């Protein structure tokens, strides 16, 4: 029986998948997008007041991945047995139409140009010896100048609010002085500072730093994007991170792309379709299509396609490559292979500052992408020479809306009671009069930190789980400690009556039980050398040229910024080269 044939199959309906689907249907291709989770739209699941429910939302994890079907195993070091990630905690992958793009927070960064060429930049400044043994520091193989038009395009699609510093070489505003030149301003003015963010801004400025408004894909005004999709103004409802936005104010594939895409007859979205593998020809150099399970009928289906785009999120993309046999699996012992190499994450520690009891921080007020940051200790913006580490962290107050269950469960500990009357006192005081300051930093890649297939545990489809070997390393721990030490004078200037500065400790292993971020990266990285990268600079597999792998899997190391702005720009960048070059003559865009 002949399989249904389409020009392009896209795996995953998040930002990466939806951007690629839009671009490829615009190019006239027939496109099927397969999403393992259910359909999701704002007027149904996102509607007020039912979606304004902390228990059902962030606590019972209404919108996140259902681990009973599939998960990963995790260990810190290669001599340990990895164990299943049985309950969501450290990271919260998405599932369903929109992916994690439906319930992200919306901090929407570009990139520090030097982060795209971090290896070259560190060597130029500090010499090759500065790079510690075992650290796989690499360049992306693409420059900021090349990506700039695609950052600009993504911001216009997302309706991003922000304040620029430099546009076309001219200083135009009070934005981040470390940020690179832009071809155009943000489409919307910056979000207002919450009270907490405003006092951080003043204190950071007085301390001689350079505060700026976080770029936010939360709309500061009403907006219509280039696709004709509309957003309403954000009202700082505080049910942002981990929730779908009832006001159509937070950018999501569901609000900003799919309404336009769904009208295109060349486009088909199939929810409840779990892709099991990419089918390859016998030489494993060409994909012939994909095989997926219709999770409702439990029927296995297959599609034939000329082009296969993986947009299933960082570690799912790596998993699909490994189970399908795309490229050579990474082996840390022989240091060969590329699929699974340079698995990275992000360091983050949240410190807390208490203000006098006459001051109310109203932490429930907030928007996921709003806040004030400093970049004085991010990327290559400061002198690492005497400090002896690579990388850095922005520091920020990003009050996204603190809700009571999360506040209550997190309160106490570290010497203060976790229950009883004294706990209640502390909880109430902390909730009303404190604020959080984060150091949200880079995480470098290491030879013995990687992804492969687990030898023991399987998902419900009978496939081996992906295994993560990951822990914090000395370079990143010292970076975090240094940056956190810079928070103290700012907190003091804010009028702190008490502070709890939290940093990573020497030798502290990664803990799967506490939320970090969902900013996982690497594992199928881009680069200019097929020996050390799974993808070329257009995110095309070096080994199977009709497979493009879009997502933070492409990052050679974890950066201080949130990833989605770069993921979106890389998606538009890859799509541009598919449209202008690949489709005219399919094959490798770079000679291996």
Ligand X SMILES: Cc1cc2nc3c(=O)[nH]c(=O)nc-3n(C[C@H](O)[C@H](O)[C@H](O)COP(=O)(O)OP(=O)(O)OC[C@H]3O[C@@H](n4cnc5c(N)ncnc54)[C@H](O)[C@@H]3O)c2cc1C
Q: Which residues are catalytic?
A: 519
- 529's contact among ligand X, other proteins, ligand SF4, none, with CB below 5 to 8 A by partner kind, is none
Piece in contact with ligand SF4 (CB under 6 A), picked from 231-239, 280-288, 381-389, 583-591: 231-239
Site string for ligand SF4, 208-227 (x = CB under 6 A): ----------x---------
* Least distance in angstroms from the C-beta of 228 to other proteins: 26
- Residue 439 has phi, psi (to 5 degrees) of -110, 110
Determine if 193 is a binding residue for other proteins (CB under 8 A): yes
Determine if 239 is a binding residue for ligand SF4 (CB under 6 A): yes
Determine if 93 is a binding residue for ligand X (CB under 6 A): yes
Looking at beta carbons only, is 140 or 389 nearer to ligand X?
A: 140
Determine if 501 is a binding residue for other proteins (CB under 8 A): no
Looking at beta carbons only, is 193 or 376 nearer to other proteins?
A: 193
Angle (CA) 424 430 432, round 5°:
100
* Least distance in angstroms from the C-beta of 323 to ligand X: 9
Determine if 60 is a binding residue for other proteins (CB under 8 A): yes
Cis amide leading into 298 (omega within 30): no
DSSP secondary-structure letter at 56? I
Maximum Cα–Cα distance for the chain, whole Å?
74
Determine if 497 is a binding residue for other proteins (CB under 8 A): no
Site string for other proteins, 196-215 (x = CB under 8 A): --x-----------------
* Least distance in angstroms from the C-beta of 252 to other proteins: 17
* Binding residue (CB under 6 A) for ligand X from 22, 40, 75, 103: 103
- Residue 366 has phi, psi (to 5 degrees) of 170, 165
Restricted to residues 523-552, the positions that interact with ligand X (CB under 6 A) are 551-552
Restricted to residues 4-33, the positions that interact with ligand X (CB under 6 A) are 11-17
Beta bridge partners of 257: none
* Binding residue (CB under 6 A) for ligand SF4 from 31, 234, 303, 365: 234
* Least distance in angstroms from the C-beta of 198 to ligand X: 20
- 358's contact among ligand SF4, other proteins, ligand X, none, with CB below 5 to 8 A by partner kind, is other proteins
DSSP secondary-structure letter at 211? -
Looking at beta carbons only, is 210 or 418 nearer to other proteins?
A: 418
Determine if 513 is a binding residue for other proteins (CB under 8 A): yes
Determine if 361 is a binding residue for other proteins (CB under 8 A): yes
Determine if 63 is a binding residue for ligand SF4 (CB under 6 A): no
Query: What count of other Cβ atoms lies within 10 Å of the Cβ of residue 418?
Result: 14
* Mode of pairing for the β-strands spanning 498-500 and 347-354: antiparallel
Site string for other proteins, 411-450 (x = CB under 8 A): -------xxxx--xx-xx--xx------------------
Q: What is the helix (H) or strand (E) element at residue 485, kind and residue range? A: helix 474-485
Give residue for tokens 């070329």: 536
Looking at beta carbons only, is 546 or 564 nearer to ligand X?
A: 564
- 218's contact among ligand X, other proteins, ligand SF4, none, with CB below 5 to 8 A by partner kind, is ligand SF4
Cα-Cα-Cα-Cα dihedral of 313, 319, 320, 324, to 10°? 160
Q: Which two tokens stand for residue 540?
A: 């095309």
- 274's contact among ligand SF4, other proteins, ligand X, none, with CB below 5 to 8 A by partner kind, is ligand X
* Least distance in angstroms from the C-beta of 320 to ligand SF4: 31
d(CA 470, CA 457): 18
- 504's contact among ligand SF4, other proteins, ligand X, none, with CB below 5 to 8 A by partner kind, is none
- 409's contact among other proteins, ligand SF4, ligand X, none, with CB below 5 to 8 A by partner kind, is other proteins
- Where does residue 61 rank: exposed (0-12), middle (13-18), buried (19+ CB within 10 A)? middle
- Where does residue 580 rank: exposed (0-12), middle (13-18), buried (19+ CB within 10 A)? exposed
Looking at beta carbons only, is 425 or 529 nearer to other proteins?
A: 425
d(CA 341, CA 447): 8
Give me the long-range contacts of 282-288 (CB less than 8 A, separation at least 24). 284/325, 284/326, 284/543, 284/544, 285/543, 285/544, 285/545, 286/544, 286/545, 286/546, 287/326, 287/544, 287/546, 287/547
Give residue for tokens 């135009």: 172
Restricted to residues 552-571, the positions that interact with ligand SF4 (CB under 6 A) are none
Determine if 329 is a binding residue for ligand X (CB under 6 A): no
* Least distance in angstroms from the C-beta of 49 to ligand SF4: 13
Residue-level length of the chain: 592
* Least distance in angstroms from the C-beta of 240 to other proteins: 10
d(CA 332, CA 567): 26
Residues whose CB falls within 8 Å of the CB of residue 564, separated by 6 or more in sequence, listed in order = 15, 101, 104, 108, 217
Residues whose CB falls within 8 Å of the CB of residue 449, separated by 6 or more in sequence, listed in order = 342, 343, 344, 469, 470, 471, 473
Piece in contact with ligand X (CB under 6 A), picked from 121-129, 307-315, 386-394, 474-482: 307-315
Determine if 554 is a binding residue for ligand X (CB under 6 A): no
Determine if 350 is a binding residue for other proteins (CB under 8 A): no
Give me the long-range contacts of 22-26 (CB less than 8 A, separation at least 24). 22/227, 22/257, 22/260, 22/261, 23/571, 23/572, 23/575, 23/576, 23/578, 23/579, 24/307, 24/309, 24/575, 24/578, 24/579, 25/261, 25/264, 25/266, 25/267, 26/579
* Least distance in angstroms from the C-beta of 132 to ligand X: 28
Residues whose CB falls within 8 Å of the CB of residue 226, separated by 6 or more in sequence, listed in order = 153, 156, 157
Q: Which residues of the chain form contacts with ligand SF4 (CB under 6 A)?
A: 218, 234-237, 239-240, 243, 245, 247, 249-250, 367-368
Tell me which residues touch ligand X (CB under 6 A).
Answer: 11-17, 34-37, 92-96, 99-101, 103-107, 241-242, 274-275, 311-313, 316, 368-369, 518-519, 551-552, 562-565, 567
């Amino acid at each position: 029986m002949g399989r249904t044939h389409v020009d392009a199959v896209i795996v995953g309906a998040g930002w990466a998948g939806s951007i690629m689907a839009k671009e490829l249907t615009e190019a006239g291709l027939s496109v099927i997008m397969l999403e393992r989770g259910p359909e999701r739209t704002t007027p149904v699941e996102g509607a007020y007041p039912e979606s304004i429910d902390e228990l059902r939302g962030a606590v019972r994890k209404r919108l996140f991945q259902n681990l009973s079907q599939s998960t990963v195993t995790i260990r810190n070091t290669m001599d340990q047995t990895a164990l299943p990630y049985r309950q969501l905690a450290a990271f919260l992958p998405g599932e369903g139409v929109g992916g994690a793009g439906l319930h992200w927070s919306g901090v929407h960064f570009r990139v520090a140009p030097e982060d795209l060429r971090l290896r070259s930049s560190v060597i130029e400044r500090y010499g090759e010896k500065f790079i510690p043994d075992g650290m796989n520091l690499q360049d992306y193989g693409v420059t900021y100048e090349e990506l700039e038009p695609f950052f600009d395009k993504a911001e216009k699609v997302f309706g991003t609010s922000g304040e620029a510093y430099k546009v076309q070489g001219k200083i135009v505003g009070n934005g981040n002085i470390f940020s690179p030149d832009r071809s155009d301003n943000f489409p919307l003015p910056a979000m207002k500072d919450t009270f907490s963010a405003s006092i951080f801004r003043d204190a950071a400025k007085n301390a001689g730093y350079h505060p700026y408004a976080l770029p936010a894909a939360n709309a500061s005004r009403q907006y219509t994007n280039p696709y004709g999709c509309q957003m309403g103004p954000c009202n700082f409802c505080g049910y942002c991170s981990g929730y779908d936005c009832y006001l159509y104010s937070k950018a999501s594939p569901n609000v900003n792309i799919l309404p336009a895409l769904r009208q295109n007859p060349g486009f088909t979205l199939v929810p409840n379709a779990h892709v099991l593998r990419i089918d390859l020809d016998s030489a494993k150099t060409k994909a012939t299509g994909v095989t997926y399970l219709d999770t409702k009928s439990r029927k296995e289906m297959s599609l034939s396609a000329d082009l296969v785009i993986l947009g299933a999120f960082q570690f799912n993309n790596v998993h699909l490559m490994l189970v399908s046999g795309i490229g050579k699996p990474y082996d840390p012992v022989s240091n060969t292979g590329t699929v699974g190499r340079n698995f990275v994450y992000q360091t983050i520690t949240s410190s807390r500052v208490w203000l006098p009891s006459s001051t109310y921080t109203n932490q429930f007020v907030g928007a996921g992408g709003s806040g004030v940051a400093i970049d004085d200790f991010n990327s290559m913006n400061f002198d690492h020479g005497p400090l002896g580490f690579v990388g850095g962290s922005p520091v920020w107050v990003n009050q996204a809306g603190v809700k009571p269950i999360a506040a209550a469960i997190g309160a106490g500990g570290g010497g203060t009671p976790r229950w009883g009357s004294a706990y209640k006192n502390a909880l109430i005081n902390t909730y009303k009069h404190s604020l959080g300051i984060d150091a949200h930093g880079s995480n470098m890649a290491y030879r013995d930190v990687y992804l492969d297939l687990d030898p023991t545990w399987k998902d419900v489809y009978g496939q081996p789980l992906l295994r993560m070997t990951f822990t914090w390393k000395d370079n990143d721990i010292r970076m975090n400690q240094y940056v956190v030490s810079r928070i103290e004078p700012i907190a003091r200037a804010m009028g702190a009556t008490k502070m709890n500065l939290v940093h990573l400790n020497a030798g502290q292993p990664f803990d799967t039980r506490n939320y970090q971020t969902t900013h996982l990266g690497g594992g199928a990285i881009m680069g200019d050398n097929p020996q050390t990268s799974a993808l070329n600079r257009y995110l095309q597999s070096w080994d199977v040229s009709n497979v493009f792998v879009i997502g933070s899997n492409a990052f050679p190391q974890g950066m201080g910024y949130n990833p989605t702005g770069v993921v979106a720009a890389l998606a538009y960048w890859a799509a541009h080269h598919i449209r202008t070059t690949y489709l005219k003559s399919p094959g490798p865009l770079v000679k291996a």
